Amino acid sequence: QKEVEQNSGPLSVPEGAIASLNCTYSDRGSQSFFWYRQYSGKSPELIMFIYSNGDKEDGRFTAQLNKASQYVSLLIRDSQPSDSATYLCAVNEGGKLIFGQGTELSVKP
């Protein structure tokens, strides 16, 4: 089992819809979780982090964490074509970030 798993997609949603991205992790001791966005040919950029169970909202983005289920998700409301990118889930394990393989999101106008 991979340490951090994501559906590779592609996930296609129409403009204005909610995009839901999911991630599971294997290390129960992990305490901090991150979502990065990566445009094609570019490096990852941080969009959200979450440390506590529950929801954390930042503009159109909501991160959700359920440590009991070892599950992290990212919701993007009112999706825009500019949101089309690969979304990487990362988990802090022992001081280093372990990434999932990423989910490619395509927002269709």
Nearer to other proteins, 17 or 99 (CB): 99
Specify the residue for token string 């529950």: 54
Nearer to other proteins, 17 or 26 (CB): 26
Binding mask 22-41 for other proteins (x = CB under 8 A): ---------xx-x-------
Cβ of 25: how many Cβ atoms within 10 Å?
23
Nearest to 76 by CA among 29, 35, 28: 35
Q: What is the DSSP secondary structure assignment for residue 60, as one 8-state letter?
A: T
What is the binding site for other proteins (CB under 8 A)? 4, 6, 8, 31-32, 34, 42-46, 49, 88, 92, 94-102
